[in-house]
Amino acid sequence: MIDFYAARSPNGRKISIMLEECGAPYRVHFVNLEQGEQFKPEFRRINPNSKIPVIIDSEGEAPVTVFESASILIYLAEKFDRLLPRAAAGRAECISWTVWQVANVGPMFGQSHHFNSIAPEKCPYATTRFSKEAARLVRVLERRLAERAFLAGDYSIADIAVFPWIRVALDSMVRTFPGLVGETASIRRWFAEISERPAVQRGLALGR
């Protein structure tokens, strides 16, 4: 059994989708981020960085704790032999795009949203900086998906990593700064195809 510590966020939904794709037995423990449950000592014992998601895999000789979403995706892909190529070149490509998401898409989309919609004081420099970078990343994704059906050839953990962020951010970004984002036809084709997967639909339903 896998214990999954989650919240209703893109990073949480990455892992719920992957667990469903793997057919893994799991139980969900929701962490109330608004009430600061992630900073409680009992949660810090499983993730010193006080972030979701976290999994604890109790199968095997001793429990295995994994935090950081990319690490969890790779761990599950290896455990269940799913959605991560075995050949060195394909594996490297898949992991590269997975890390591209966690190093770029998540932070930049998040900062763009924060400074455009949440920050109590307007900061034109920050708004412009993060909006331009978020839009640039959308263009990177569009170019890639114009060449490939999925980010690393076949559907993989790389697509699972990016999909929940596009789900919550793309339409808002297009409305807010359409001139920066540009065309998104390939992204929308990719998004529609992934959305039809039953495991993705079950993963998105997490906690509804």
Could you report the per-residue pLDDT of 96-127, keeping only the tens digit for each?
999 999 999 999 999 998 998 899 999 999 99
Select from 83, 99, 123 the last residue of a domain: 83
Instruction: Looking at the structure, tell me whether residues 159 and 76 fall in a common domain.
Output: no
First-to-final CA distance of the chain: 22
What average pLDDT does the structure give for the chain?
A: 95
- What is the distance of C-alpha 8 from the center of its chain? 12
CB atoms within 10 A of CB 117: 10
Question: Could you tell me if 20 and 203 are in contact, meaning their C-beta atoms sit under 8 angstroms apart?
Answer: yes
* Count of domains for the chain: 2
Q: Are residues 129 and 176 in the same domain?
A: yes
Q: For residue 136, what is the domain's CATH number?
A: 1.20.1050.10
Q: Which residues contact 144 (CB under 8 A, 6 or more apart)?
A: 97, 151
In the sheet that 2-6 helps form, which strands lie side by side, from edge to edge? 26-30, 2-6, 54-57, 64-67
Question: Which domain-ending residue is among 83, 106, 126?
Answer: 83
Domain finish residue from 29, 58, 83: 83
Q: Are strands 64-67 and 54-57 parallel, antiparallel or unpaired?
A: antiparallel
For residue 179, name the pLDDT band (cuts at 50, 70, 90). confident
Q: Please indicate, yes or no, whether residues 93 and 189 belong to a single structural domain of this protein.
A: yes
Same domain? For 152 and 190 the reply is yes
Least confident segment among 35-39, 48-52, 167-171 = 167-171
* Residues 6 and 70 both lie in one domain: yes
The predicted structure's pLDDT at residue 207: 53
Within a domain: residue 203? no
Helix and strand counts by DSSP (H, E) for the chain: 10, 4
Q: Phi then psi for 179, rounded to 5 degrees?
A: -65, -25
Asked if residue 202 is part of any domain, the answer here is no
Same domain, 149 and 181: yes
Same domain as 92, residue 78:
no
Same domain, 100 and 178: yes
Between strands 26-30 and 2-6, the pairing is: parallel
Contact call for residues 146 and 186 (beta carbons, < 8 A)? yes
Please check whether residues 187 and 108 belong to one and the same domain. Answer: yes
- Asked whether residue 60 falls in the same domain as residue 92, the answer is no
Residues 113 and 78 in one domain: no
For position 70, which CATH number holds?
A: 3.40.30.10
Q: Which domain holds residue 115?
A: 88-195
